[in-house]
């Protein structure tokens, strides 16, 4: 096992977990998780932040009813009820 420096300044983990049994989940159709992920990825690319900011898909973050959820690392900030329209505000936080 090798230990290396963290390759990104910041990472946004976006829940895209979906459930087939009908229970609420961030990635279920109409909930918005995948759309939030796409908006953040597009924003990082448009702002030229590749290599500094990573947007990663996440499995369930356990606050499904409040989602879509996004966790920013290393800032330890959690956002619930995120929409694609919030992507710009989250990108600002990722560049602070």
Whether 83 shows a pLDDT value over 90: the answer reads yes
Write the CATH number of the domain with boundaries 10-94: 3.40.30.10
Q: Please state, in angstroms and rounded to a whole number, the distance separating the CA atoms of residues 67 and 44.
A: 21
Q: Is the pLDDT of residue 94 over 90?
A: no
Chain-centroid distance of CA 49 in Å reads 15
Task: Compute the distance between CA of residue 18 and CA of residue 45 in angstroms, rounded to an integer.
Answer: 26
Q: Are 73 and 59 in contact (CB under 8 A)?
A: no
Each domain of the chain, given as residue ranges in start order, spans: 10-94
**Model confidence, pTM:** 0.91
Q: Report residue 52's pLDDT band, with 50, 70 and 90 as the boundaries.
A: very high
User: Among residues 18, 21, 16, 51, which one has the least CA distance to residue 34?
Assistant: 16
């Amino acid at each position: 096992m090798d230990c290396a420096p963290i390759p990104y300044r910041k990472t946004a983990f976006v829940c895209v977990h979906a459930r087939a049994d009908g229970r609420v989940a961030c990635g279920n159709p109409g909930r918005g998780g995948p759309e939030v992920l796409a908006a953040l990825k597009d924003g990082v690319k448009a702002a030229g932040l590749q290599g500094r900011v990573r947007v990663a898909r996440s499995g369930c973050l356990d606050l499904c009813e409040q989602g879509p959820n996004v966790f920013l690392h290393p800032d330890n900030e959690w956002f619930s009820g995120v929409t694609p329209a919030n992507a710009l505000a989250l990108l600002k936080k990722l560049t602070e």
